[in-house]
Amino acid sequence: MKSSLFPAKKQSSRFSGLVFLLAAVILACGSLQSQELKVRAQFAAYPATPPAPRALANIDPTYLKLRAVAPGQAVTVTGLRLRKDAGIFTFKSGTFYLLEPINGICTGAVFLGDASFSLTPPTELEQRYLSFLAKDHEFVEQFSEAVFRFTDGTDAEILKAAGPAAASASGNPAGVFKEVQSQLRTRLKENLDVRLLQDLLSSQPGGKFVAFIKGKRYGGKLIYDIDPQGVVSYMADPPPRETAGPRVQEFFSLAPEEVALTEWDWKDAGIWTCFHLAHEYADGTVNSNEHNGPVTVARQKLEAAFAKNGKLEGVAETTVVAAHNGVRVVPFDLFPTLRVAWVTGQNGEQLSFIQEGAEEDANFAVILPKELKKGESYTITTSYAGKNAVIDEGDKNYYAVARDNWYPSVGLAGHSDFAMTFHIPKGLKMVATGKLLKNIDEGKENITEWESHAAQPVAGFNFGEFKSMESPDLSKHYMVETDVNEMGPGGMGTRYSFVPMMKKANAEGQVALDLFTDYFGEQPYKRLALTQQDASNFGQSWPGLVFLPLPYFLDATYRHQFNPRNEHQYFDTVGPHEIAHQWWGHLVGFNSYRDQWISEGFAEMSASLFLQGVYSEHGLADFHEFWADRRKRLTDTNGEGKRAIDVGPVTLGYRLATARTGVNIPRDLIYPKGAYILHMVRCMMQNTASKDVDERFKAMMHDFTQTYGNGTATTEDFKAIAEKHMTPEMDLTHNHRLDWFFNEYVYGTEYPSYHFEHSFSAASDGTLVLNMKLTQSHVSDGFVMVIPVYVELEKGQVARLGRLPIRGNTTVEQHIKLPGLGGQKPRRAMIAYLDDVLGSVENK
C-alpha cells in the first residue's frame, strides 16, 4: 500500500537539489570507508540469531500461484450485462477466458470480443466532473479487450451466461493478460496480487473487482476499480523524457472511497471519478471519516541506524489492530528501496512476507500465522535496510526522501503512539518528532530516544551537523528550537551564512505558536523544532518537527536570489504555514483527500493571521498583498486553458490534477480558496463591539480542535461546528444552517463580481448620509452573500459599518444615516476591505 497525502515531495522538491546532488556524488566517491551503524534492537521478539535474510520473502504458495496464474477455460457469451456498483458492462458477444482457479477460487478473466462499459456516478458533482473530463454528457466506452481481476464471484455470473462454444476463438488471451500483469509490475508498480491474496487467505468473502479496459475512445489505459477496503490511485511513473505528456500528481490514497475510474495514459491521465459504494448512498452512511482498511496501528516502536552515506538499517515493532474479521495478510507502506530481511511474529516465529524488487511492484505485506478477528491486536517485528530513503548530500547534510514510509506504515489516516531510537554518526545531531528521552554518545555513534507526546498520524526525523538554538515560546506552552547546518550542502555555507538567521527563525516560531494557540487552542506537541531541508520551494510539517526550505534561513538579500519577485511572499509565509500544520493536519487530521483542503486551507489562512498580526509594520499592506495573490492564483489561466476556481470544488482535492485540467490546479485551488473559506467565516463572526473582535471565531476554532483533536475531521464536521457558532447575521436562510455558504464556496465553484459605488450627502436635519449602490454579478440566481461595508475616517482608520445581504445578479441601493462617527468626516466607503469576500471586487 503506497500512500502519500502530502504530495509534492520527491521530484518537485529537487529544484535546487540538482547541483547539490552532483556535489554529493563527487564527495561520496572520495570517502570509500562508509561507517556502518548497527541497530541493536532490544525488542521482545528480536531473535537471538536473526533469520537468514529474505528466506521467507515471496514464498507463500498461494501468492506464488497468483503470480503465475494464466487464462484457461473459455466461456462464450452473448448479450451479458454485468452491473458492478455504478458501472455497467455489456458484453454483446465474445469469449471470456477464466483464470485457472487458485485454492478453488477463480480470481479473474480475460475478455475478447465486442463490449461496452458505461458509468453513472452517484452524485451530481461526480457526474459533472466525469462529463467534463470525458468531454461528453455520459460516460460510455467501447472495448474489445479487457482483463478482470476479482474475488467477488464474478466468474459465477459469467458461467451462468455461458452459451454454445464458438467454433474457433481467435485472439491471444494469454498475451492480453501478460500485458496487464507487466503494466502493474513495471509501470504502475502496484502489487495487485497482494490485495487478492488478502481475500484468498481470509475466511471472509472477498469483494474486490477491478477491470483493466483497453478502450477505443479514451485510450487503452482505463481502470475501473472497486474495493471495499478503499481504492488506490493507479499512477504510472512520469513518462520517459522523449514522450510528450504532463506529469500528473504522485500517488495518493483514494480511501475510504471504494469505487474509482482511473485513466493512466499520459495524455489523459487522472482520476476521473471516485465515490463510495452504492449501498452507502442508499443507506445515507456516506462518510469521509470511514475507516475501511484491514488494520489500524496502535503503536510503533522503531529503531533506526543511519550510516554516513545515509543508508538506513531499521527494526520496527508494529502493533496492528484488525479492523474487521478475517485479517490474515497485513499490507504496509514501506519505501521500496528499504528491503525487508525478515519478519517475526509476536512469539518470535518467522513470518512469511511479500516484497518484490525495488524497481517493481514492491508493496510490502506480512502474512500472519492465523487470521485476526475484529479488534484483535498483533505485534509484527520487521528488519529492513536500504539506501536512498535518506540521501547524503555532502558536507554532513542529509535529505530524508522517505518522509512517511521509512517504517512500515498504514498511511496517515490514523493516530498512533511512537517510541523511537536513532543511531547516527557521532558529531551529527538528530531532531525527531516527540519528546527527547535520552541523548548519549557511545563509541562512534550518537544515540537518541524519543516518545510521542500524544498519538500522531506520522513520525519523522531530520539530522545533520546542526547548530541549534533553543528558546521557550512567549506563553511558555512549548519549547522552540532551530536547527540548521552551518555549512549547507555543496559548501553553500561558504557563500551564505545560515546561523545569524536562527534567532529570527526562533522568534518567528515563538510568535506563531503563541498566536495560533490563542486562535486555535493549545496543541499537544510540547516542542517545536524548525529544521532546514535542502529544497528551495517547499516546506513540510510533522508533529513537533518542521522542515523549512534552506533559503528561509537566509536574510532578505540572499532570499531574494531564490525568489526575486517575492512570488506569493513565499519565504514570509512558509514558516507560519508549516507551523500552523501542527494544528491542521496533525492535531486535527484528515482521513480522505476530500477533506485535505481543511489542512492546507487553514494553514494558509493561519499565515494570513500572522501577516496581519505580526508583519504589520506596513499596516495591512502585506496582508492585502497576500489575499490579492490568492485571488490571482484562483483566476490565472494555466497552460491547459483552465482557471483553478472553475475546475472543481475544494473537496476534489488532489484529484483536480489531471492531464486535462493541469497539474497546478490543486495547489492553486485548495490552498488559496480553502484559506478564503476560513477567512470569510472569521470575518463574518467578527464583533467590533467586543474587546477582542475575533472572540467568537476563536471560540469556534477552540471547539473544533477540542472536539476533533488527535483524530480526523471531515468537511461536514467543520460545517457542524461553524453552524453551532454562527451569528444571527450569518443565518441568511433563517434555518440556523450554513448550507448556503458551504454550497457556494466549499462544494461550489462560483467566483462572483462586486461593484460598489457610494456618495455622501446631508439629510434635512444635517446628518451625514451614506448612499450606496452594490451590484453582485456572474453568479447563479440563488447565490447569496453578506457583504461587509467599511468607512475610512479622516485619520485613515477603517471601521466596519455593517453588512449588506445580497441575492442573485442584482443591484441593491441603500441610504443610511451616519450620526455618530465622533464628529469625523469619512473619506470614503468601501466593501471587502479585509479581503473578506471571495470574488472580483471593485470599489468606486
**Residue numbers at the binding site for Zn ion (CB under 5 A):** 600, 603
> Smaller CB distance to Zn ion: residue 253 or 599?
599
Q: Please report the DSSP string for 241-269 in residue order.
A: TTS--PPPPPP-B-TT--EEEEE-SGGG-
> Smaller CB distance to Zn ion: residue 392 or 600?
600
CB of 603 to Zn ion, least distance (A): 5
Cβ–Cβ under 8 Å, residues 39 and 303 = yes
Q: Which residues contact 691 (CB under 8 A, 6 or more apart)?
A: none
Report the side by side order of strands in the sheet with 108-119.
Answer: 71-84, 87-99, 108-119, 139-150, 209-215, 222-226, 259-263, 270-275
- Residue 95: strand pairing partners: 76, 112
Joined grid coordinates for residue 325: 474479521
Cβ–Cβ under 8 Å, residues 552 and 534 = no
> Smaller CB distance to Zn ion: residue 657 or 770?
657
CB of 668 to Zn ion, least distance (A): 13
CB of 259 to Zn ion, least distance (A): 29
CB of 826 to Zn ion, least distance (A): 40
CB of 9 to Zn ion, least distance (A): 12
Q: Please report the DSSP string for 768-787 in residue order.
A: EEEEEEEEEESS-TT-EEEE
> Smaller CB distance to Zn ion: residue 394 or 575?
575
> Smaller CB distance to Zn ion: residue 294 or 544?
544
Q: Where are the beta strands (DSSP E) in 445-515?
A: 445-451, 461-464, 466-472, 479-485
CA distance readout (Å), 829 to 759, 793, 818: 8, 9, 12
Kindly report the three-state secondary structure assignment for every residue of 479-499.
EEEEEEECCCHHHHHHCCCCH
> Smaller CB distance to Zn ion: residue 199 or 572?
572
CB of 673 to Zn ion, least distance (A): 14
Expressed in angstroms, the distance from the first to the final Cα of the chain is: 56
Residue 805 φ then ψ, to 5°? -75, 145
CB of 585 to Zn ion, least distance (A): 7
Joined grid coordinates for residue 332: 504496509
Kindly report the three-state secondary structure assignment for every residue of 707-726.
HHCCEECCHHHHHHHHHHHC
> Smaller CB distance to Zn ion: residue 314 or 457?
457
> Smaller CB distance to Zn ion: residue 5 or 647?
5
CB of 536 to Zn ion, least distance (A): 16
Neighbours of 55 (CB within 10 A): 11
CB of 577 to Zn ion, least distance (A): 6
User: Does 228 sit behind a cis peptide bond, omega within 30 degrees of 0 on the bond before it?
Assistant: no
CB of 477 to Zn ion, least distance (A): 22
Neighbours of 138 (CB within 10 A): 11
> Smaller CB distance to Zn ion: residue 600 or 723?
600
Helical axes 715-725 vs 695-708, angle rounded to 10°: 140
> Smaller CB distance to Zn ion: residue 585 or 752?
585
Q: Which residues contact 426 (CB under 8 A, 6 or more apart)?
A: 441, 443, 444, 445, 446
Residue 768 φ then ψ, to 5°? -70, 135
CB of 600 to Zn ion, least distance (A): 5
CB of 574 to Zn ion, least distance (A): 9
DSSP for residue 659: T
> Smaller CB distance to Zn ion: residue 385 or 663?
663
> Smaller CB distance to Zn ion: residue 316 or 603?
603
